[in-house]
């Protein structure tokens, strides 16, 4: 087994009951790959059947509208998953881009990995179902925040969800994720700093 897969094994063992021997049986389906900072991984229109588990570094998925504006859909730091579901689940072209914000190392997981792994580790189906449900819950909450939350509420939710990213990504990317302007984000951060100073 590739020693670089050890963190992924530990991650799985925290999620489901899987032995070292069982992980060895399914590890042949896994590959570790490194991406350079700013390297493009998936372009809009690509059909990708891969998912990515981040070992180190940081990925993002985003779209670009007709006016050239970037809309960040998701960040994926360490121990997060990221995939383009159009290709992964439906074999359709991607609506989004995925790239590396930092030099990043990932485990590449093919779309059939969970089904193949379940032959040796049946309980991995529970992990697959939990991941799908959590992804749906994440997106529902994200849509609700964009539709109804104030800029301050969105930012507070962001730092709860991604507590270590405020120092790792530029302010314009955070603003893009929140659906506000960088100027609005700057005002929110100043207001929060003043509130904290007064308490």
pLDDT per residue over 34-44, tens digit each? 999 999 999 99
109 with 191, same domain? no
Same domain, 36 and 13: yes
Whether residues 32 and 116 fall in one domain: yes
DSSP 71-138: EEEEEE-TT-EEE-HHHHHH----SSEEEESS-EEEEEEETTHHHHHHHH-TTHHHHHHHHHHHHHHH
Same domain, 124 and 67: yes
Point out the domain boundary residue: 109, 131, 148.
Answer: 148
Residue that finishes a domain, picked among 148, 169, 189: 148
What domain count does the chain have?
2
Are residues 131 and 88 part of one domain?
A: yes
Q: Which of 148, 169, 185 is the last residue of a domain?
A: 148
Query: Shortest CA distance to 55 belongs to which of 73, 88, 30?
Result: 30
Do 128 and 106 fall within a single domain? yes
Summarize pLDDT for 59-105 with one digit per residue, the tens.
Answer: 999 999 999 999 999 999 999 999 988 888 788 999 999 999 999 99
| 9 plus 59 within the same structural domain | yes
Are 122 and 90 in a shared domain? yes
Q: Does the pTM exceed 0.95?
A: no
**Rounded mean pLDDT of the chain?**
92
Residue 199 has a pLDDT of 45
At 1, is the pLDDT very low, low, confident or very high (cuts 50, 70, 90)? low
- The verdict on 103 and 13 lying in the same domain is yes
Give the domain range for residue 187.
Answer: 149-199
Residue 178's pLDDT is what?
97
Whether residue 127 is found in the same domain as residue 153: no
165 and 129 share a domain? no
Contacts of 130 (CB under 8 A, 6+ apart): 15
CA distance 35 to 54: 11
Q: Examine the domain organization and report whether 124 and 36 are in the same domain.
A: yes
**Would you say residue 160 has pLDDT above 60?**
yes
The CATH number assigned to the domain holding 100 equals: 2.60.120.10
Q: Exposed/middle/buried for 59, CB within 10 Å: 0-12, 13-18, 19+?
A: buried
Contact 8, 53 (CB under 8 A): yes
């Amino acid at each position: 087994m590739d020693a670089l897969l050890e963190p992924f094994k530990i991650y799985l063992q925290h999620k489901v009951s899987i032995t070292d021997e069982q992980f060895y049986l399914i590890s042949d389906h896994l590959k570790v790959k490194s991406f350079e900072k700013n390297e493009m991984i998936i372009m809009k229109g690509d059909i990708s059947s891969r998912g990515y588990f981040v070992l180190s570094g940081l990925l993002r998925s985003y779209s670009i509208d007709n006016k050239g504006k970037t809309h960040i859909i998701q960040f994926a730091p360490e121990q997060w998953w990221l995939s383009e579901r159009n290709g992964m689940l439906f074999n359709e072209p991607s609506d989004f881009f995925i790239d590396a914000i930092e030099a990043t190392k990932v485990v590449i997981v093919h779309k059939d990995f969970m089904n193949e792994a379940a032959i040796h580790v049946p309980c991995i189906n529970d992990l697959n179902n939990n991941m799908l449900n959590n992804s749906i819950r994440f997106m529902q909450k994200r849509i609700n925040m964009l539709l109804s939350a104030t800029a301050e509420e969105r930012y507070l939710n962001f730092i709860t969800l991604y507590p270590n990213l405020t120092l790792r990504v530029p302010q314009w990317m955070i603003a893009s994720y929140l659906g506000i302007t960088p100027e609005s984000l700057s005002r929110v951060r100043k207001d929060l700093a003043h509130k904290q100073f007064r308490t």
